């Protein structure tokens, strides 16, 4: 398929976590499955070339609208019309089979740019603005009505969308993925002093780090390592050096930090929020605790450190979980199923309108 990916504010070429990393992994998965993927993101740096070929096989087009710096939603809103005109011009010359937009700003660009060309739009909200969100709330309502399909990244986000009024049958869950050939138990390991290692990964509840540090202060031969500044290319070696990884945010849409650790065969202790409730199987691949229950979180880490057999069992099951549910092949297959559904629905809708129009004609 020819797939246009719209990510106006989160370039897949950046080192950012969250939405940018999710889009990058999705594009890489689809490219590896031999689909033609072009990502449209806003140019935020004057030195960026208009079109860049990523090492993963997809193209990134830097759309030249607005000032060449990062913009928030409100600032970007004034430039969305120009963005839509730019992509519509590209799509008139070479229309994609489907457009997949990420976040409401990209969604608004997509439904405007694709509307006259009758290209189906698939949309990922990545969180809703709520009734008091002004332009965003209005745009999200329009996108929900116009998009052929809505994609959630977790069962928790799907429930959030249903509760907001999006039809249950209109929503599909396509989670974040991870490259199990890059994040793997085998390979170089970061050199350290030989102590047991607990890695703090992803965004943390501010109280969690202090609670875990206090609990581990009573345990000999253990170090606590914050991985927040570790570049993606260096993360597998750091993860392989760990005995336990901790993912303890108060909210989590993607679960990618946990997936990376699990792909490296590392047991995870995580808070039961958002995508983490899907990713981590309690008692199988790791431990889930309630958010803000820092005492239980610390106790769980301490208990795992004292049980080597359990850590090994969790680590092996974690790797198997990634291979079975979160590999690039699986991610591409699930996304493609949504795109094909959207294109069939669009074709069927056009055929139905054509038939209705002809039926209404005299003679």
Q: What DSSP string describes 42-81?
A: E---TTS-SEEE-TTS-EEEEE--S-SS---HHHHHTTHH
Q: Please give the span between the terminal C-alpha atoms of the chain, in angstroms, as a whole number.
A: 40
More confident of the two residues 96 and 211: 96
Res 348: pLDDT: 60
Residue written as tokens 């090994």? 312
Measuring CA to CA, how many Å separate 110 from each of 83, 107, 122, 335?
9, 5, 9, 18
Please state, rounded to an integer, the average pLDDT across all residues of the chain: 91
Reported confidence tier of residue 65, pLDDT bands at 50, 70, 90: very high
Contact 41, 60 (CB under 8 A): yes
What's CA 179's distance to the chain center, in Å?
13
Reported confidence tier of residue 335, pLDDT bands at 50, 70, 90: very high
Q: Is 316 exposed, middle or buried (0-12, 13-18, 19+ CB in 10 A)?
A: middle
Contact 166, 150 (CB under 8 A): yes
Residues 205-244 have pLDDT tens digits of 777 777 788 877 777 888 989 998 899 999 999 999 999 9
Residues 137-170 have pLDDT tens digits of 999 999 999 999 999 999 999 999 999 999 999 9
Residues 339-354 have pLDDT tens digits of 999 999 777 654 444 3
Alpha helices, DSSP H, located in the chain: 19-32, 73-77, 80-93, 103-115, 135-146, 155-164, 206-216, 235-240, 256-263, 276-279, 294-305, 308-325, 328-359
Q: Give the residue among 312, 294, 253 at the shortest CA–CA distance from 277.
A: 253
More confident of the two residues 205 and 36: 36
- pTM, to two decimals: 0.90
Res 351: pLDDT: 40
Quick one: tokens of 108? 């608004």
What would the mean pLDDT of 192-205 be, rounded to a whole number?
87
Longest CA pairwise span in the chain (Å): 90
What would the mean pLDDT of 183-201 be, rounded to a whole number?
92
Q: Is the pLDDT of residue 282 over 50?
A: yes
- For a pLDDT cut of 90, what percent of the chain falls above it? 79
Task: Say how many C-beta atoms besides its own lie within 10 A of residue 184's C-beta.
Answer: 16
What would the mean pLDDT of 6-28 be, rounded to a whole number?
93
Res 58: pLDDT: 97
Res 349: pLDDT: 52
DSSP string, 237-250: HHHHT-SEEEE--S
Q: For residues 258 and 276, give the distance between their C-alpha atoms in angstroms, rounded to a whole number.
A: 8
Q: For residues 297 and 30, give the distance between their C-alpha atoms in angstroms, rounded to a whole number.
A: 37
Q: Is the pLDDT of residue 189 over 80?
A: yes
Q: Is the pLDDT of residue 277 over 50?
A: yes
Task: Say how many C-beta atoms besides its own lie within 10 A of residue 272's C-beta.
Answer: 16
Res 113: pLDDT: 94
243 Cβ contact partners less than 8 Å away, ≥ 6 residues apart: 196, 197, 198, 266, 304, 305, 311
- For a pLDDT cut of 70, what percent of the chain falls above it? 95
Task: Say how many C-beta atoms besides its own lie within 10 A of residue 186's C-beta.
Answer: 9
Res 360: pLDDT: 40
């Amino acid at each position: 398929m020819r797939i246009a990916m719209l990510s106006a504010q989160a370039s897949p070429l950046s080192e950012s976590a969250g939405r940018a990393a999710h889009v990058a992994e999705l594009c890489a998965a689809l490219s590896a499955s031999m689909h033609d993927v072009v990502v449209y993101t806003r140019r935020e740096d004057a030195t960026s070339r208009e079109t860049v070929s990523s090492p993963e096989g997809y193209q990134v087009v830097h759309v030249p609208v607005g000032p060449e710096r990062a913009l928030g939603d409100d600032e970007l809103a004034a430039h969305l019309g120009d963005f839509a005109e730019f992509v519509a011009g590209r799509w008139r010359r070479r229309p994609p089979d489907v457009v997949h937009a990420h976040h409401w700003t990209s969604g608004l660009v997509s439904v405007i740019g694709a509307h006259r060309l009758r290209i189906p739009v698939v949309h990922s909200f990545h969180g809703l603005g709520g009734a008091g969100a002004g332009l965003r709330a209005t745009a999200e309502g329009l996108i929900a009505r116009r998009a052929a399909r809505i994609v959630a990244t977790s069962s928790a986000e799907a429930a959030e969308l249903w509760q907001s009024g999006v039809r249950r049958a209109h929503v599909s869950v396509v989670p974040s993925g991870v490259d199990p050939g890059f994040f793997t138990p085998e390979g170089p390991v970061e050199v350290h002093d030989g102590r047991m290692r607990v890695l703090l990964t992803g965004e943390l509840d501010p109280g969690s780090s202090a609670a875990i540090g206090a609990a581990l202060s009573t345990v000999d031969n253990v170090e606590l390592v914050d991985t927040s500044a570790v570049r993606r290319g260096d993360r597998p070696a750091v993860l392989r050096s760990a005995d336990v990884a901790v993912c303890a945010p108060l909210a989590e849409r993607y679960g990618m930090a946990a997936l990376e650790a699990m792909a490296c065969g590392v047991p995870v202790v995580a808070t039961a929020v958002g995508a983490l409730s899907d990713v981590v199987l309690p008692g199988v691949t790791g431990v889930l605790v309630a958010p803000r229950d820092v005492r239980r979180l610390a106790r769980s880490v301490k208990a795992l450190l004292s049980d080597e057999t359990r850590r090994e069992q969790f680590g092996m099951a974690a790797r198997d979980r990634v291979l079975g549910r979160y590999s690039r092949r699986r991610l591409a297959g699930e996304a493609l199923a949504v795109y094909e559904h959207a294109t069939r629905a669009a074709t069927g809708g056009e055929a139905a309108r054509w038939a209705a129009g002809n039926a209404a004609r005299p003679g």
